[in-house]
A and B are shown apart, each in its own frame.
Chain A
């Protein structure tokens, strides 16, 4: 693993990224390593959208193994990579899935088999052994399976990528909202942005990538094109006690309130899922909080005795549309939408996915953008270790 940043050959092409979440930050790092000039516009602080508020689980993919082997495999690969690339922002302690009902106990074999098919080393262990590791889990569970899940810092992982991009010359404009995309013929020629002082400023770019997550539809609409994305809010509740070091999940198909993630001195239960039009300013509903606490108690009986630390909501950027209800049927996979079909040839949107696979999403989108720009480049984010997130704020242009 290399962690010096050799000087890059410059390609003399500018790519503008709209959205400074995990996806935008990882893209900025990947594209900067390839030699592109990169501009990132984020309407708030970096990761103030969905990314900063996620559950913090670095997914081994076990949760998705039965439903979608490809996503599961991708999570496994990426989680190993992230642990090497940003070790300082990952608490890797593994995870345990608990079967609490007879039905869940029956599901265990299917679950383990699916994990193995996806390359995830899931392993059944005895309840005694599970309790040795994590004495506070429900002792009445029926079966236990360990998987290589972990916890990561939702803010510091993307910021490390942003720091790397910045050191390679990428310009980050936080508190700059893109309000207009000017097109001439079949191309976006400039982005009009509101500065923190409330002025409008224009930036030129050769290529534009919409990494607006749950906001991607509104951003695409600025160029009169469409992105199929459904904002699906979920709520999480943190209590003041670290009950376990491992991530504790329910051994069942993905549902609500079935994962407890430890973070520093907290334990966090999540999540719920509904669908909405506007991802802005989401607040948790009281019934979501009581539901989550009840579910958490099933996994860790002492959970709801601990004082509540915080409750919050964020919107998943689910790729797809036309949903009502919970939206759980939509895939967690990501999607590159090329707006050429709608008449704009230098504009793509990158949506969906998960924070765990942010690097892989960026790789695919950067490959795609390079090809469209007629540049032969290759991805280096698998092996080059980005600098610390602290460098994002200490770096001087």
Chain B
């Protein structure tokens, strides 16, 4: 058991918790045991929704994935150069929580992340389709036949277009995944510059790969990357890539967008 002092907005909460608890677990128990109103965003509790970001002892992190034990040793700051050492007060670990930056403030550490979501273009799809390595060996099982029939009969009732059977069956062999980026805004908060920001530019980079260069979607996305608030403003701090909980590497993607930029301007 660890004794800790959680500091939010100059309010201090003394708690007893286990090293394996997450910061979010601790806030949840404060709210339950002390019956306090304490405002913070949370939803999935496993690093998938992206709501629970905060600045935890000076470094952006997801509260649901940051364990108390993580805060008990020295950690590299977002600049990559300095470190923050754990601080104790009368033997109690200090856990200082601040709201993410570049988001509208609601209360305590709860924010409203409009800037983040505005930075992601509407044409950036959230889905990835990946061909299976052994696709040629696979054939759709007949349950897809039935499913196809059902979809056709539904479509007949609502007068919707029916998907092509061949395409439908072929799609059943493709692996569908959601994008890696969980839209948590840690990168945006950690970046010292003011511009569209890492999450939005990384989303553009991902979306470009899904669209053919001759399409207008592609050129519009590229135009956003080139725009005044685009890649030109990135000063290569790489704070974004250091805090990203999903390994999206937005910093590297911005550099890759620059490479597309120069390729295009050469031709």
Contact = CB atoms under 8 A, between A and B. Distances in A.
- Do these two chains really belong together in a complex? yes
Contacts of B141: 123, 125, 129, 146
B172 A155 contact: no
A92 B129 CA distance: 10
A161 to B, nearest CB: 15
Given A52-B49, A310-B46, A383-B158, A196 B110 contact: yes
A197 B113 CA distance: 18
Given A148-B143, A194-B37, A393-B116, A88 B49 contact: no
Interface residues of B, number: 62
Given A281-B31, A393-B112, A153 B48 contact: yes
A233 B160 CA distance: 41
B10 interface: no
Most buried by B among A53, A89, A309: A53
A263 B45 CA distance: 13
Interface residues of A, number: 66
B178 to A, nearest CB: 6
Nearest to B29: A281
Nearest to B49: A155
Contact of A47 (B49, B126, B147): B49
A94 B172 contact: yes
Most buried by A among B25, B28, B44: B44
Interface in B126-171: 126-127, 134, 137-138, 141-147, 150-151, 154, 158, 160
Contacts of A10: none
Interface stretch (A26-34, A264-272, A338-346, A351-359): A264-272
B64 interface: yes
A133 B21 CA distance: 37
B225 to A, nearest CB: 18
B114 A394 contact: yes
Contacts of B138: 132-133
B7 interface: no
A148 to B, nearest CB: 5
Nearest to A282: B28
A266 B51 contact: no
Interface string B26-37: 001101110001
B39 A88 contact: no
Given A1-B160, A132-B137, A196-B39, A264 B29 contact: no
Interface stretch (B78-86, B117-125, B188-196, B209-217): B117-125
Given A45-B51, A280-B32, A383-B158, A80 B150 contact: yes
A288 interface: no
Contact of B106 (A48, A175, A263, A383): A175
A198 B37 contact: yes
B64 A393 contact: no
Given A121-B146, A132-B137, A263-B48, A155 B176 contact: no
A178 to B, nearest CB: 13
Nearest to A390: B117
Given A89-B126, A382-B158, A309 B114 contact: no
B150 A119 contact: yes
A45 B28 CA distance: 13
A154 interface: yes
Most buried by A among B31, B42, B45: B45
B42 A264 contact: no
B245 to A, nearest CB: 11
Interface in A105-141: 119, 121-123, 125, 129, 132-133
Contact of B43 (A47, A264, A388): A47
A24 B109 CA distance: 24
B260 interface: no
Nearest to A81: B154
Given A94-B172, A133-B138, A177-B37, A281 B44 contact: no
Contacts of B134: 132
B107 A197 contact: yes
Contacts of A392: 117
B263 interface: no
A387 B135 CA distance: 33
B141 to A, nearest CB: 5
A123 B28 CA distance: 43
Nearest to B176: A91
Contacts of A174: 106
B126 A310 contact: no
B175 interface: yes
Interface string B173-204: 00111101011000000000000000000000
Interface string A29-68: 0000000000000001111100111001000000000000
A376 to B, nearest CB: 21
Which 3 A-B residue pairings sit nearest by Cβ, starting from the closest? Answer: A52-B43, A281-B32, A121-B146
7 contacts: A44-B40, A45-B42, A156-B49, A264-B246, A265-B180, A390-B117, A394-B118
